[in-house]
Structure 1
Amino acid sequence: MKKVKAFSAGTIILLLFMVGTVVLYGNVMGLANFFSTIMATAHDLLINTVLFILAITVLAGALGSFMSEFGILALLNRILAPGVKLLWRLPGCSALGAISTYVSDNPAIIALSKDKSFIDYFEDYQKPALANFGTSFGMGLVVTAFMMSLGFFKEAMIGNLGAVFGSIVSTRIMLRFTRKEFGVEKGKTALAEDPEAYRYRTIREGNLFQRVLDALLEGGKGGLEIGAQIVPGVLIICTLVLMMTFGAGTAGYDGSAYQGIPILPKVGEFLSWPLKVLFGFSSPNAIAFPITALGAVGAALALIPNFISEGLITGNDIAVFTAIGMTWSGYLSTHIAMMDSLGFRHLTTKAILSHTIGGIAAGVFAHYAFMIFLG
Structure 2
Amino acid sequence: MKKSYFEAFLFLIVLILAFLFVNSYMGVSNFFKTLMLTAHDLLLNTVFFIMAVAVITGAFSGLLFEFKVADLIDVILRPFMKPLYNLPGVSVMGIIATYFSDNPAIIALAKDKRFMKNFAKWQEPLLCNLGTSFGMGLIVSTFMIAQGSKMGYNLVPAVFIGNLGAIFGSIVSVRVFSSFTRKKLGEYDDSEEVINVEYEAGNSYGSFTERLLTALLDGGKKGVDIGLGIIPGVLVISTFVMMITFGPKDPTVGYQGLAYEGIPILPYLGEKIFFILKWLFGFSNPELIAFPLTSLGSTGAALALIPKFIDLNIITPNDIAVFTAMGMTWSGYLSTHIAMMDELGYRFLTGKAILSHTIGGLAAGVFSHFIYMLL
TM-score by length of 2: 0.95
Q: Does 1:99 align with 2:96?
A: yes
Deviates more, 1:340-349 or 1:205-214: 205-214
Asked whether the 8 Å contact 1:339–1:345 carries over to 2, the reply is yes
Q: Structure 1: where are the runs of 5+ without partners?
A: none
Distance 2:223 2:113 in 1: 26
CA contact (8 A) 2:202 2:215 kept: no
What's the CA shift string for 1:137-185, capped at 9, x where partnerless?
A: 000001000000011211111100000000000001111110000122x
Residue 304 of structure 2: aligned partner: 302
Match of 1:161 among 161, 164, 171: 164
Q: Is 1:279 matched with 2:276?
A: no
Percent sequence identity is 54
In 2, distance between residues paired with 1:328 and 1:201? 28
- Counterpart of 2:176 in structure 1 is 173
Matched residue, 2:328: 326
Give CA-to-partner distance per residue, 1:272-309, whole Å, 9 cap, x none: 12111111111000110011000000000000100011
Contact 2:235–2:301 (CA under 8 A) maintained in structure 1:
yes
Alignment of 1:110-121 (within 5 A): 110-121=107-118
Q: How many pairs were matched up?
A: 367
Matches within 5 A, 1:27-46: 27-46=24-43
What residue identity is the alignment partner of 1:318? I
Partner of 2:89: helix, strand, or coil? coil
**Are 1:65 and 1:216, in contact at CA under 8 Å, matched by a contact in 2?**
yes
Distance 2:136 2:277 in 1: 25
Amino acid across the alignment from 1:77: D
Mapped contact 2:98–2:136 kept (Cα < 8 A): yes
| Contact kept? 1:58, 1:221, Cα under 8 Å | yes
Deviation at 1:196? 2.9
Matched, 1:354 2:351: no
One-letter code of the match for 1:243? Answer: M
Conservation of the 8 A alpha-carbon contact between 1:90 and 1:191: no
Q: 2:224 is matched with which residue?
A: 224
SS of aligned partner of 1:235: helix
Q: Residues 93 and 198 of structure 1 are in contact (CA less than 8 Å); yes or no, is this contact kept in structure 2?
A: no
Matched, 1:270 2:272: yes
Deviation of 1:27 after TM superposition, in Å, equals 1.6
| Cross-structure match for 1:149 | 146
Partner amino acid for 2:335?
S
Query: Compared with structure 1, are the counterparts of its residues 192 and 85 closer, same or farther at alpha carbon in structure 2 (3 Å cutoff)?
Result: farther
| CA deviation after TM superposition for structure 1 residue 121, in Å | 0.6
State the partner residue of 1:140.
137
Q: Cα offset for 1:17?
A: 1.5
Q: Are the counterparts in 2 of residues 93 and 194 from structure 1 also a CA contact under 8 Å?
A: no
1:55 aligns with 2:52: yes
Q: How far apart, in 2, do the equivalents of 1:37 and 1:200 lie?
A: 46
3-state SS, counterpart of residue 282 of structure 1: coil
Instruction: Note the C-alpha offset of 1:22.
Output: 1.9
Partner of 2:152 in structure 1? none
Q: Letter of the 1:180 partner, please give it.
A: K
Aligned-residue Cα RMSD (Å) equals 1.6
Q: Which runs of 5+ in 2 are unaligned?
A: 149-154
Q: Which amino acid aligns with 2:233?
A: G
- What is the CA distance between 1:15 and its match in structure 2? 2.0
Partner Cα distance (1:312, 1:321) in 2: 13
Deviation at 1:202, TM superposition (A): 7.0
2:22 paired residue among 25, 28, 36? 25
CA contact (8 A) 1:58 1:223 kept: yes
Task: Return the offset for 1:73.
Answer: 0.3
Q: Give the 3 Å change call, closer, same or farther, for CA 301–19 of structure 1 in structure 2.
A: same
**Which TM-score applies when normalising by structure 1?**
0.95
SS of 2:135's equivalent in the other structure is coil
1:81 matched to 2:84? The reply is no
Tell me the SS of whatever aligns to 1:138: coil
How many Å apart are 1:54 and its aligned residue? 0.4
Amino acid at match of 2:48: L
The one-letter amino acid of 1:108's match is A
CA distance in 2, matches of 1:13, 1:280: 40
Give the C-alpha shift of residue 132 in structure 1. 0.2
User: Residue by residue, what CA displacement relative to the aligned partner does 1:46-102 show, whole Å, maximum 9, x if unpaired?
Assistant: 011000000011111111111001100000001001111110111101111101000
Q: Distance in 2 between matches of 1:29 and 1:82?
A: 57
Distance 2:254 2:288 in 1: 23
Conserved 8 A contact 1:36-1:255 = yes
Q: Aligned partners of 2:170 and 2:84: how far apart in 1? A: 10
Shift in Å, 1:311: 1.1
Number of the residue aligned with 2:214 = 214
Give the match for residue 240 of structure 1: 240
1:299-340: CA deviation from partner (whole Å, max 9, x where unpaired) = 000001000110111111111100000000000000000000
